[in-house]
Every structure is written in C-alpha cells, then in structure tokens.
Chain A
Amino acid sequence: MYDRLVELVQSTPSSQSLTGTSVPPSPSYVTYYLRLRSRAPNALHRITLLESRTTIEQGTTGLKTWPAAHALAEWLGKHPGRPQPLCSPNQQSDMSCHLTERVVGKRILELGSGVGYLGLAAAAIQLDTPAEGDPEPSIWLTDVNSVVLSRCRDNLSLPCSTLRGFLVNFNGVTDWQTRRTGTTAYT
C-alpha cells in the first residue's frame, strides 16, 4: 500500500517548468526551534536541516520532517527526566520509579530517524541537562533508505549545527537492512 501511495503521489505534478515538464521544488535548509525545559523561557534550541519540500522525493517520505517528530521532540523537551539512582531493583515494578526516566543519561535508539530532527533534538536534550556520572550521550540513528541515511549524516555535520562544540557520540547511522554501522563523534 505504501509503495502504491508513493507511486500515486509521484505521478502528480507539483509544479511546471518553462518547458512544461514537472519539476519538484529543490530541498531547502529549514531551521526549527525547540524549547528545552532547563533554558530560559525565551531561549530556544535551534536545529537546522536540509530537507525535502515535497511529500515524497526519490521514492521516499523520509527526506522531510513530519509532524509526529515535532510532537515527540516537543514532549521530550518538556519532560527530559532524570535517571533515578535510588531506584532499586525492588522498585523496578513501581510505576513512580519510571515516570522520571526519559532520555537524559540514556542510550537511545531511534527507529526511522529520517533526516535527523528527532535524533538531534534528543541529543540536545541530553546535553541540556547533563549531570555528573551520566554516561556519555549515545544515540543510534537508523533508517531503511540509503538516500535518507546520507542526508541524515550530512545534516548532523552542518556547520550551523548547534551540537558542534559538544562531545556527542552518535553511535552510528545504521541501515537495518544491511546493518552498516559507523560511529561518529561530533566535536
């Protein structure tokens, strides 16, 4: 069904060039602003990505940031949580023991990372509320499409990335079909 949807959408002209042929809009740099809990009310974290301006490009929907990623990033930003060092094994079944656990100090794996927005947001949240004793921030970003993976890698390395200057160890952008794994430290 997904393949059929891609086929149908791609067959719909999005714009016309001077020669009358269909020309999709070119990818654009888009900057998103994410409010993090620990920052001043008017201080926003900035995430810039190169992404598609069409629903489907090169046969994939993964080249743009979708509303669900914004929703989850916004929620995580408001509820970054803290690890609970006093959460004993006997308390593991206690619901309150887990309510504060989110992404801070956690090893994170994102399935379907697309062009990288949610992963970058999660990394920013981790870096925004560090604490002594936290493990090194770790994020695995994954996607199934090689074009999407390439765009994600490029976005993580943009000069305007506000994560530059931090020691962030993205433990790899992995294609779960071929299991390519690489580790990159963005410093």
Chain B
Amino acid sequence: MDADGISSIRGLVSEADPDVILGADIVRFSFRYCFHELRIDHPEPGLRSVYYSAPHRHHPLSDFDDGFDRAASGFRRVGSHGEET
C-alpha cells in the first residue's frame, strides 16, 4: 500500500471514528502497514482496538512484531495493546 492509500485510510478512519477496526487477510492487501500506522497514530492508545487475521502461520510479519502477538492457531488477532490471542 502506498502513501496515498494509507493517507486515504487515515481519512476514512477519522471520518468513521470507529471503536474497532477489523481486517481479514491483511497481508494480501498490505493492510499490515496501515494497521501499524493506525495503531500508533491513535491519540489515546487503548481506546481503539484493531483485530485482524492472516491465513497462514508463516507470513513475514516480523517487520512490526513489536507489541503484536502471535496466535498459536496460525493467525493473529491483536488489540491496541497487542493483547489479543
């Protein structure tokens, strides 16, 4: 996802002001970058949760593993604190 895509999603999130953001198969859509951006951009971490899943155990997500959790079942589900498993 390019910078314009991330910027557009930021605007969408700002407009919708969701409590929860869901994303399935985010690796395929490169959502992982914008999810990471959205998580750290939120002014009050913890008030907005992000749950996402990826279908395979070995997707190369190690580039933003800080604070994110890995579920034993092969996909990841995370909250804004990375607490969801």
- From 6 to 21 in chain B, residues with beta carbon under 8 angstroms from any chain A beta carbon are 8-9, 11-13, 15-21
Total number of B residues with any Cβ neighbor in A under 8 Å: 38
Q: Hey, which chain A residues are within 8 Å of B79, CB to CB?
A: 98, 101
Interface string of B43-85 (1 = CB under 8 A from A): 0101101011111000000000000000001010101110100
| B21→A110 contact, CB < 8 A | yes
| B13→A109 contact, CB < 8 A | yes
| A112→B77 contact, CB < 8 A | no
| B31→A174 contact, CB < 8 A | no
Chain A: minimal CB distance from B82 (Å):
10
Q: A66-B55, A98-B46, A171-B16 are in contact. Are A110 and B8 (CB under 8 A)?
A: no
Chain A at the B interface: SS class? mixed
| A108→B18 contact, CB < 8 A | yes
| B9→A111 contact, CB < 8 A | yes
| A68→B75 contact, CB < 8 A | yes
- By beta carbon, the residue of chain B nearest A171 is B16
| B16→A140 contact, CB < 8 A | yes
Q: A106-B20, A176-B8, A179-B8 are in contact. Are A66 and B25 (CB under 8 A)?
A: yes
Q: A107-B20, A140-B16 are in contact. Are A177 and B49 (CB under 8 A)?
A: no
Interface string of A45-65 (1 = CB under 8 A from B): 000000000000000010000
Q: Which of A12-20, A36-44, A71-79, A161-169 contacts B (4 or more CB under 8 A)?
A: A71-79
Q: Taking the complex as formed, is A86 at the interface, i.e. its CB lies under 8 A from any CB of chain B?
A: no
A175 to B52 alpha-carbon distance, docked (Å): 20
| B83→A109 contact, CB < 8 A | no
| Most interface-central of B9, B16, B47, B73 (chain A CB within 10 A) | B16
Complex A-B, nearest 7 residue pairs according to Cβ-Cβ distance, in ascending order: A109-B18, A68-B25, A106-B19, A69-B24, A72-B53, A68-B24, A110-B22
Further 17 A-B residue pairs, CB within 8 A, beyond A92-B47, A99-B83: A2-B28, A66-B24, A98-B79, A98-B83, A102-B20, A107-B16, A107-B18, A109-B16, A110-B21, A110-B22, A110-B23, A111-B9, A111-B31, A112-B24, A118-B22, A174-B12, A176-B9
